[in-house]
Structure 1
Amino acid sequence: MVSFKPLDPEFPIERQLGIDAGPIVLVNLFTVDPVNQVALVEAWKNDAQWMKMQPGYISTQLHKAIGDGSMYMNYAVWDSVADFRAAFSNPEFQQQLSHYPSSAVTAPHLFEKVAVPNCCTA
């Protein structure tokens, strides 16, 4: 089963799930023993396919660190925290977390777009 580690210990995902915001981006960093990389990707694939069927889901993409490292990053876009919270808290999804290799550690965090003049829009 995957272990959770807050990306920001001052404001972990559990606290973020109580905020009303949207659209949002989930950034989720995974680390895993090199021998468990295939199992991690397979478990993530099953989760992604389940999440794609949930209300408010927009898109997701898995990234692997370049080189020989065994770090991965998932980037998922959702309509709102409420939609993500409903999917993430669903008992069916929570049960699927047991399919991750025991060496897997995840650090999920939610973000909103920021408007910066002459650079990007919110």
Structure 2
Amino acid sequence: MAEIRSLDPKTPMFAQFGQETGQVVLANTFVVPPERDEAFLALFRGQAEFMKAQPGFVSLRMHKGTAGSRLLLNIAVWESTAALAAALAGPEFQRLAADFPDDVVSYPHVFERIDA
């Protein structure tokens, strides 16, 4: 299973699920060893298909860093933190997440839109 680290140690992703919100964005940055890139993406695509079928799912986009970067960034929109939390807590998601290699590091964080 990928190692999960917090972008904001004072507010880890799972603590964010305690706040009821409207639509949220899950931004998840993955650090993937170059030799695992294709295998990781294949696993991610399978997990993405599962997530797309979950209640409250809105959209998903994966991005890759340029110039040989090892970073991949998933941006997923959900109707609420409750919908996201329910999808992540399900046994099927847990089984899929366990397949990710141990040398992948994940930095997930939940955001809500604000006017700039």
TM class by shorter-chain length? over 0.9
Structure 2 equivalent of residue 4 of structure 1: 4
* Structure 1 residue ranges without an equivalent (≥5): 117-122
Structure 2 equivalent of residue 28 of structure 1: 28
State, as a whole percentage, how many aligned pairs show the same letter. Answer: 36
| Distance in structure 1 (CA, Å) of the matches to 2:71 and 2:115 | 29
Structure 1 equivalent of residue 85 of structure 2: 85
* Structure 2 residue ranges without an equivalent (≥5): none
Structure 1 equivalent of residue 63 of structure 2: 63
Superposition TM-score, scaled by structure 1 size: 0.92
- Which protein shows a greater Rg? 1
Provide the aligned C-alpha RMSD in A: 0.8
Alignment-mate amino acid for residue 18 of structure 1: G
Deviations 1:31-80 (A, max 9, x none): 01110111111111111100000000000000000011111000000000
Superposition TM-score, scaled by structure 2 size: 0.96
What is the 5 A alignment of 1:41-60? 41-60=41-60
Greater shift after overlay, 62-71 or 94-103? 94-103
Q: CA contact under 8 A between 1:39 and 1:101: conserved in structure 2?
A: no
What is the aligned length?
A: 116
